[in-house]
Amino acid sequence: MLGKLAFTGIKSRLRDYLVLFTGLIISSAVFYMFETLATNSSFLSSSTNGMDSASFIFQFGSVLLTIISLVYIFYANSFLLSMRQHDYGIFMMLGAKPAKIGRLILTETLVIGFLSSMVGIIFGGILTASLGNYLMEKIVQMDLPNFQALSVKAVVLTLALYLILFVVAGLINRRKLIKTPVLELLKGDSQPNRPKLKPVNQTIQIVLGLGLLAFGYYVMKHFVDFQLASIPIALVTIVFGSYFLFNAVFVWLVVLLKKTRWAQQGINNFTLSQLSFRIRNYTKILATVSILFALALGAITVGMGFGNEADLFTQGSSGYTMALKNPSQAVKKQTNDLKLARKSSYSFKATKKAVYYEKDEFDRQPLQDVSDKWMKAISKGKKPVASYDSRDGKTLQKNPGSLYYLQGDFEQEIKVVSAQKYAEIQAPQQELFVFRVKDIKQSKEKLDQIVKTIYPKTFQQQRANIPGGYSSYLSGLEAFGGFEFMGFFLGIAFLAMLASCLMFKILSGANSDKHRYEMLNKLGVRKQVLRRSISREIIILYALPGILGTIHVLFGLQLFKTLLIAPYQGIWLPFLIFVVLYLIYYWITVKLYQKIVLPAVEIDK
């Protein structure tokens, strides 16, 4: 009987459960996708650098997602408990024992976790299968006919992880409910938490909050000095700084606004009263949402930043796209079909001890290498422009470092000698053929064909061993493309979770707010005015964590200066994408809230 009543209670609030299900489903779907990629042997064995690089990227993404999902699940279950606590209180008043209610809570939590995880796995499988070709093109750079979107290992890992998280959360909720008095369960959600303005206390919290945020930002900016310690330091200071700032500023702002003339116009005072009714509870969730907002926006921004790094990484790796030893006429013919920026050919002789080049050849056609200007721009955190310096024979005699990389053999010593000494060396003459294309992205397919001509049977394994920017470009695409893909979907998962938290927090109080809007309707307030009031109230709740979260991201990008050449380059695009998605969630929340609270029949004046 008790289970039947519980099921009826869940069914009556199915809309609220679906809001939280969205975040849980997307979280488990992305986790499943990461695990499928991290454990898929067909995918990993085809990567340019072998299995370790790609596996590490997606396993790292899984760890990050797990940490945030843990926080989200605790919040989600806390919301579910607060939503059902009135029902549990009634059950206890009817004679249900606390232990029985505790088992009921744990069962409900596990059922929710199992269902959301299974739907997430199905959705993740569809997502992985539909994005398979994109992944191959972006990361592995080829199609894999044997790629499997269904991974039994990934299914088991996803189910096991999320069920463990839900068991822990369910046990915590069970303990919390058993220790809560029945009267508090019945009335706790309807009790107002009105703020009282305490100037001294508020000032201390503002100073403390700003101080903690400033220190967290300072640590992130000076990542080189603090090293890995900067991450936990910044995390702790920014979390507590955000809470103190919201708890002080938000409360102060609402109280002060209610004393202004603006509050007396229309139903502005009603809107402010709505915010102040549960203001203390909102400060906690807004502080959490601001952190999740920063993580979501930061993940997308950094991910897209990594996506822009492949070209820059290639520019700084070598002055030439490829360096080929003794190419055939067929290969040279294929090279002529490329849009070339430069092409040269050098003769060399190789013995067991050294490789010899003729100095006069470099005087006639100097070897090119990445310019020092490019390196200086990188050191200053600016986006570099591709530029190259020429190395003549005299320069290479003193420092043949540029030739070592193009030769591809670091065991033998490289010497640049005079024409006379070169002629005296008893060894067959060979050719080093180098060229640079104007746009490696547009030329990639033709470059692949050249490598296939040279290594028809071992193309996949040998393409990473070709000296020059081509192999660097492939490695960059795999690493940076993997991080770009991971960052984008982590951002989407974080966004779904933060929006679900905020959306549920707002909608969970809609039923208790309904009678207030009905009263305003009876007083003759037009629906258009009520809709405007709702929009203003909710936009404040979305805008405040959004603004603070954006500031967190702008400072947080300092952490990636050691990984990204230009972390702030093109930042407007991920910001625009994220803001659009965030506004969509805001619009959905407004519409759902209006549907709940606005009376069906409007009473005219």
Judge contact between 525 and 267, C-beta under 8 A: yes
Give domain status of residue 452, yes or no: yes
Q: What is the pLDDT of residues 145-179, one digit of tens each?
A: 556 677 788 888 888 888 888 888 777 777 777 66
User: Are 157 and 201 within one domain?
Assistant: no
Number of domains in the chain: 3
Looking at the fold, whether 32 and 111 belong to one and the same domain comes out as yes
pLDDT at residue 471 tops 80: yes
pLDDT at 325 over 70: yes
The answer on 550 and 439 residing in a single domain is: no
Which of 261-270, 413-422, 505-514 is modeled with the greatest confidence? 413-422
Higher pLDDT, 199 or 575: 575
Position 85 scores a pLDDT of 66
Claim to verify: residue 364 and residue 418 sit in the same structural domain: yes
Which of 151, 172, 191 is the C-terminal boundary of a domain? 191
Q: How many CA atoms lie within 13 A of 251 on its CB side?
A: 26
Q: Which of 433-437, 498-502, 580-584 has the lowest mean pLDDT?
A: 498-502
Same structural domain for residues 278 and 252? Answer: yes
Residue 342 · residue 366 · CB < 8 Å = no
Q: 450, 467, 484: which is the final residue of a domain?
A: 467
Is 603 a domain residue? yes
- Reduced DSSP (H G I as helix, E B as strand, rest coil) percent helix, strand, coil of the chain, to 5: 75, 5, 20
CA distances for 413 relative to 199, 286, 395, angstroms: 75, 63, 16
Q: What is the pLDDT of residues 178-216, one digit of tens each?
A: 666 655 555 555 555 555 556 777 788 888 888 998 898
341 lies in the same domain as 231: no
Question: Which comes out higher in pLDDT, residue 279 or 564?
Answer: 564
- Tell me what pLDDT residue 50 has: 45
Per-residue pLDDT band for 114 (boundaries 50, 70, 90) equals confident
* CB distance 478 to 53 below 8 Å: yes
Q: Is the same domain home to 434 and 366?
A: yes
Tell me: do 394 and 423 sit in the same domain: yes
**What's the whole-model pTM score?**
0.74
- C-alpha neighbours within 13 Å on the C-beta side of residue 545: 29
The least confident of 336-340, 376-380, 499-503, 555-559 is 376-380
Q: Quickly state the pLDDT bin for 357 (edges 50, 70, 90).
A: very high
Query: Is 531 inside any structural domain?
Result: yes
Q: Please name which of 501, 497, 511 lies closest in space to residue 87, comparing C-alpha atoms.
A: 511
Helix residue ranges, H only, 246-336:
251-257, 268-277, 279-307, 309-315, 329-336
Q: Do residues 261 and 310 both lie within one domain?
A: yes
Higher-pLDDT residue of 343, 42: 343
Could you tell me if residue 331 is inside a domain?
yes
Residues 6+ apart with CB under 8 A from 337: 446
Q: Is residue 498 part of a domain?
A: no
Q: How far apart are CA 97 and CA 490, in angstroms?
A: 42
Task: Summarize the confidence of residues 456-475 as an average pLDDT.
Answer: 81
Average pLDDT rounded to a whole number, residues 248-255:
75
Instruction: Flag whether 302 is in a domain.
Output: yes
Range of the domain at 443: 320-467
The reply to whether 118 and 6 lie within a common domain is yes
Residue 512 sits in the same domain as residue 452: no
Residues near 489 by beta carbon (within 8 Å), at least 6 away in sequence:
30, 33, 34, 61
Q: How high is the pLDDT of residue 369?
A: 87
- For residue range 330-356, what is the model confidence (pLDDT) as tens digits? 999 999 889 998 999 999 998 888 899
Q: What is the DSSP string of 420-483?
A: HHHHH--S-EEEEEEEEES-HHHHHHHHHHHHHHH-SSSHHHHGGGSTTHHHHHHHHHHHHHHH
Statement to judge: residues 347 and 271 lie in one domain = no
Q: What is the pLDDT of residue 106?
A: 75
Query: What mean pLDDT is predicted for residues 408-429?
Result: 84
Residue 499: inside a domain: no
Tokens coding 479: 């690493």
For 369-406, the pLDDT digits (tens) are 888 777 677 666 666 777 788 888 888 888 888 888 88
Neighbours of 469 (CB within 10 A): 26
Least confident stretch, 31-45, 290-304, 519-533? 31-45
591, β-bridge pairs: none
The reply to whether 35 falls in a domain is yes
Kindly state the average pLDDT of the residues 303-314. 75
d(CA 498, CA 291): 9
pLDDT reading at 595 higher than 90: no
Q: Give the C-alpha distances (Å, rounded to integers) separating 346 from 34, 330, 365, 368, 391.
A: 46, 18, 9, 13, 13
Highest mean pLDDT among 25-39, 282-296, 424-438, 505-519: 424-438
Angle at 443 between CA 485 and CA 42, to 5 degrees: 45
Which is nearest to 197 in space by CA: 134, 254, 278?
254
Q: What is the DSSP string of 383-404?
A: PP---EEEE-HHHHHH--HHHH
Residue linked to tokens 């979305």: 542
Tokens of 3: 């289970």
Task: Decide which of 191, 206, 233 is a domain's last residue.
Answer: 191
